């Protein structure tokens, strides 16, 4: 069974610091991995998509990496801001036309 795990469930970081969010998955035959942001009571905003042939993707202060052999992805956020506070979800597409989501990491940036 394909599973996606995110640890820790919650993280608090002072404003301005760089931080890394972790995502692990059980099936190395991953097709792609997508990172999302979810604000309370809101929808999912796509942040970055990494195809299986890629090792990383960057968008502004965000950088996501993918290591299929170790079953890990990371989301790096540089120079964190209070507006980055949200829940961050990773989701894997294992080629079966559906995303398998992790439980998310709730990030709080302390001003």
Partner 1 sequence: EPEVTQTPSHQVTQMGQEVILRCVPISNHLYFYWYRQILGQKVEFLVSFYNNEISEKSEIFDDQFSVERPDGSNFTLKIRSTKLEDSAMYFCASSGSIVNTGELFFGEGSRLTVL
Report the interface residues with partner 1, using CB under 8 A.
31-32, 34, 36, 41-46, 49, 51, 89, 91, 93, 96-104
Going by C-beta distance under 8 Å and a sequence separation of 6 or more, which residues neighbour residue 45?
Answer: 36, 37, 38, 39
CB of 18 to partner 1, least distance (A): 25
For partner 1, the closer of residues 15 and 56 by Cβ is 56
For partner 1, the closer of residues 66 and 80 by Cβ is 66
Question: Distance between CA atoms of 14 and 47, rounded to whole angstroms?
Answer: 22
For partner 1, the closer of residues 69 and 96 by Cβ is 96
CB of 10 to partner 1, least distance (A): 13
Q: Tell me which residue of 26, 19, 23, 31 sits closest to 90, measured CA to CA.
A: 23
CB of 69 to partner 1, least distance (A): 21
Q: Are 82 and 15 in contact (CB under 8 A)?
A: yes
């Amino acid at each position: 069974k394909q599973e996606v795990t995110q640890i820790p469930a919650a993280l608090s970081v002072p404003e301005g610091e760089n931080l890394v969010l972790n995502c692990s998955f059980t099936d190395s035959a991953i097709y792609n991995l997508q990172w999302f942001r979810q604000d309370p009571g809101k929808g999912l905003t796509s942040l970055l998509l990494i195809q299986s042939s890629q090792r990383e993707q960057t968008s502004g202060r965000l950088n996501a990496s993918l290591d299929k052999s170790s079953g890990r992805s990371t989301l790096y956020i540089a120079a964190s801001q209070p507006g980055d506070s949200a829940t961050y979800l990773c989701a894997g597409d294992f080629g079966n036309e559906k995303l398998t989501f992790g439980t998310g990491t709730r990030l709080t940036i302390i001003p």
